[in-house]
């Protein structure tokens, strides 16, 4: 599968089959994150892989009761370990670095036939408590991964003309 096919075909999936993800495939998903770029190549991140069903249920509660989080066989929680670093453009590096790493993971998962749903709708303090994440570390995303139990149609997207400007805003 080429990258553009993965980009255009991937959807946010909220229904998963009751099938474990093979270690080799999970390793490739995590390797995609490891290989992603980061500011100054600092790689200030930690990815917590959650397979335990009781823990996934607690994470679903912390994700505003979104039950599908507990139904996925794997949830990866993406954390920024050095949240104080601000790039010269004024942006916190960890949010951007982890966004790239998470995008790489969901695209690799899609190539492997595994669905995912990037979540930012969760209570960070609860997630930190459940997973014993240190106070200074920030939780950027939770991503459930699993084999699809549904087909999701493409959602409308704006045209290039609506989102692209050349030379000036």
Going through 3-146 in order, the beta strands assigned E by DSSP cover 45-50, 74-80, 115-116, 138-146
Q: Does 66 have pLDDT greater than 90?
A: yes
Q: What is the mean pLDDT of residues 61-70?
A: 97
Which residues, listed in sequence order, are joined to residue 78 by a DSSP beta bridge? Answer: 47, 141
Q: What is the mean pLDDT of residues 121-140?
A: 98
Q: Are 13 and 117 in contact (CB under 8 A)?
A: yes
User: In whole numbers, what is the pLDDT of the chain averaged over residues?
Assistant: 97
Dihedral angle, C-alpha 116, 122, 128, 130, nearest 10 °: -80
Confidence bin at 84 (pLDDT 50/70/90): very high
Q: Does 33 have pLDDT greater than 90?
A: yes
Q: Are 62 and 133 in contact (CB under 8 A)?
A: no
Q: What is the mean pLDDT of residues 109-125?
A: 97
Which DSSP string corresponds to 18-73? S-PPPHHHHHHHHHHHHTS--GGG---EEEEEE--HHHHHHHHHHTTT-THHHHSS
Q: State the pLDDT at residue 159.
A: 96
- Percent pLDDT > 70 in the chain is 100
Q: What is the mean pLDDT of residues 39-48?
A: 97
Dihedral angle, C-alpha 77, 82, 122, 23, nearest 10 °: 0
Confidence bin at 1 (pLDDT 50/70/90): confident
Q: What number does CATH give the domain 3-163?
A: 3.40.109.10
pLDDT in tens, 48-60: 999 999 999 999 9
């Amino acid at each position: 599968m080429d990258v553009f096919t993965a980009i255009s075909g991937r959807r946010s999936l909220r229904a998963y089959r009751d099938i474990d993800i093979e270690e080799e495939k999970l390793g490739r998903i995590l390797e995609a994150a490891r290989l992603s770029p980061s500011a100054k190549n600092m790689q200030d991140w930690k990815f917590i892989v959650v397979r335990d069903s009781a823990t996934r249920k607690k994470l679903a509660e912390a994700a505003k009761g979104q039950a599908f989080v507990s139904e996925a066989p794997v949830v990866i929680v993406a954390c920024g370990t050095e949240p104080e670093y601000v790039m010269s453009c004024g942006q916190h590096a960890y949010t951007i670095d982890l966004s790239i790493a998470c995008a790489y993971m969901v695209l690799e998962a899609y190539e492997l036939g595994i669905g995912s749903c990037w979540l930012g709708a969760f209570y960070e303090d609860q997630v930190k408590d459940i997973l014993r994440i240190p106070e200074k570390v920030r939780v950027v995303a939770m991503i459930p991964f699993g084999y699809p139990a549904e087909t999701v149609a493409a959602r409308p997207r704006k045209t290039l003309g609506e989102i692209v400007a050349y030379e000036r805003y």
